A and B are shown apart, each in its own frame.
Chain A
């Protein structure tokens, strides 16, 4: 970090940086600003021309509607159960698979690894039909387990991919020493490699959680009963009925965004680091 005073690099002029940054921040944040503002407006203030920039009397009425008169709290719970379930399951499977890929050389390894990668890239829309039929046969449509399992398609390949590259960066010599001392492979994994990979595990977890929390299309197809519907579906229902209550929709959007915002802000470094490492190293 402490650079020697070398040749100064040419850069963008200050005014361009400033105006570019301001524009960027505006474009990225304005919709959320408007979402939050709309969520505390009364009906009358929502439906006026010209729009009101600052509500005269902010109201919690919309939040009351969302939290007490709708299914959103239930959907919130469903979302948590399903996201935590699929993230946890994916993580357990990925820890073993990544360790296998990172530490062993076996026949067909490159092929199996690219199978995992292809899984990540598959167009989900192309497999919703057979997945639906399969889940129906297994009696898993409209169950938590159905969605948790299906979400493995999204979370597992990426988790394996990210963790494998993480494990590879941990010196193998540590394990070799332990094996000479009589430790088994599993002991190596749980006593040496895993404790050293906590940042990697955390970024995988954040990524998997966010992806499943935001997932829409599988939930739309495989959860049609309100006992298992997730938040995205709940929100879509809210806004496509004939009389859209925009104040409530915006309040529900805020409720849905908050956990992600908190998670993202608190773990941003891990999130960005894991993402770029996983993708640029390929």
Chain B
């Protein structure tokens, strides 16, 4: 038998690439955050400037609202869908495939299609709501400061709930029949089964998926960027978009890096919780 250290040779190339692409940029962000565009050391100036910018707190609250608004309904709708798809009925396979479609489709396609459907004058959504007189006059969904963020969240929910559904469904199908039988012998109704058999059994899956969704919501700026670019009047400006704009529109790399460092710190906390949660109860569900 060969030495175990041969393993290093196998994992080395991939780790080098990842190190170059992840570890190095992360370290470099730290360096950039304390220098100006010419590369001079400026201490915490960038942080001070970013924190005093009016857009920063706006973006922070928007991000929070975006993440939590999205996740709650993604998880609720996803779990309900999974329970539905866990039933035995004809055509289930087709419904399951169809459910995945919003998730598989490119985010940019979802964004443009919804933007067209939400068009103020010619959009199908306004027509659907005005025709049966649910609302009096067409709403400018994407230009009205009050509706734009909820609409973005709705699109994000539509895009991501299938992922929750499919993961939870996999968890539900791994539950052993014995548990259901026991519940049945005790005379449990369907909703009691959901409450006392299904949900506890897929709890870890739900927790893992939720944390993953938090990270993704922090990451995914496609929908918002493609539809509003953060507007109108910064109503949909979230921190990742602010970083992008600071770096590539105002060309303030130092400030963008300072913002990245703070954003990064928050994300790391979430990632840390995620890993701890996964590590603390592995394989419990199976």
Contact = CB atoms under 8 A, between A and B. Distances in A.
A233 to B, nearest CB: 8
Contact of B99 (A28, A122, A132): A28
Given A99-B10, A104-B6, A28 B102 contact: yes
A115 B20 CA distance: 13
Report which residue of B91, B97, B113, B158 has the largest number of chain A beta carbons within 10 angstroms of its beta carbon: B113
Contacts of B180: 9
A116 B285 CA distance: 24
A201 B162 CA distance: 24
Interface in A171-227: 179, 185, 210, 213-214, 216-217, 220-221
Interface in B79-94: 81, 83-84, 87-89, 91
A69 to B, nearest CB: 18
A134 B264 contact: no
A250 B113 contact: yes
Contacts of B167: 275-276, 279-280
B95 A156 contact: no
Which applies to chain B's interface (DSSP): helix, strand, loop or mixed? Answer: helix
Interface stretch (B49-57, B116-124, B144-152): B116-124
B18 A157 contact: yes
A49 B87 CA distance: 41
Contacts, number: 303
B17 A152 contact: yes
Contact of B14 (A50, A156, A221): A156
B257 interface: yes
B108 A232 contact: yes
A67 interface: no
A124 B112 CA distance: 22
Interface in B237-281: 239-240, 243-244, 247-248, 253, 256-257, 260-261, 263-264, 267, 271, 274-275, 278
Which applies to chain A's interface (DSSP): helix, strand, loop or mixed? Answer: helix
B138 to A, nearest CB: 9
Contacts of A29: 98, 101
A77 to B, nearest CB: 17
Contact of A268 (B28, B97, B222): B97
A130 B88 contact: no
A38 to B, nearest CB: 6
A103 B32 contact: no
Contact of B107 (A34, A93, A214, A239): A214
Interface residue range, chain A:
35 or more
Contact of A31 (B100, B113, B260): B113
Contacts of B4: 104-106
Interface in A259-277: 260-261, 264-265, 268, 272, 275-276
19 contacts: A7-B185, A10-B184, A10-B189, A21-B84, A29-B98, A47-B122, A93-B14, A97-B13, A100-B11, A104-B7, A106-B4, A116-B15, A126-B26, A128-B247, A131-B25, A134-B24, A216-B107, A235-B109, A272-B166
- Nearest 4 A/B pairs, CB to CB: A104-B7, A100-B10, A125-B240, A97-B14
Interface of A: 3, 6-12, 14, 17, 20-21, 24-25, 27-29, 31-32, 34-35, 38, 46-51, 93-94, 96-97, 99-101, 103-106, 109, 112, 114-119, 121-134, 149-150, 152-153, 156-157, 160, 179, 185, 210, 213-214, 216-217, 220-221, 231-232, 235-236, 238-240, 246, 249-250, 253, 256-257, 260-261, 264-265, 268, 272, 275-276, 279-282
